[in-house]
Amino acid sequence: MNESRTRAGTVVGVGAAACAACCAGPILGLLASIGVATVASVLVFGLAGLLVAVVGVLAVLHHRRRTVPQEERPAVPVALTPGVGRRSSLDDAPGA
């Protein structure tokens, strides 16, 4: 009876080794494809983010070059008329 257990253990061991040898390739292939897909998606979304950042920086630089600095703008007189428009909350202050 001890000999049949040894044979059964040997058969189970050989079967487990065969299963590991047979299934290792597809499992490693699946893990590799997941890794490749991860790298590809990081590259695609990273490049898309970089493109958006570059376009944003270029837009800001273009806007800054086109606007006239405050020192170079000519002074324009503005006529203010008191009592026209919305009422200020300071009018209700005590002593006002």
**What long-range pairs does 72-81 form, CB within 8 A, spacing at least 24?**
none
Contacts of residue 77, defined as CB under 8 A and 6 or more positions apart, other chains included, come to: none
HSE at residue 5, side-chain half, CA atoms within 13 A, is 2
Q: What is the longest distance spanned by two Cα atoms in the chain?
A: 114
- For residue 68, the model assigns a pLDDT of 66
- For residue 48, the model assigns a pLDDT of 95
pLDDT (tens place) for every residue of the chain, 96 residues total: 566 767 777 888 888 888 888 888 888 899 899 999 999 999 999 999 999 999 999 999 998 888 766 677 777 888 877 765 666 555 555 655
- The CA distances from residue 65 to 18, 43, 58, 87, 96, in Å, are 70, 32, 11, 39, 46
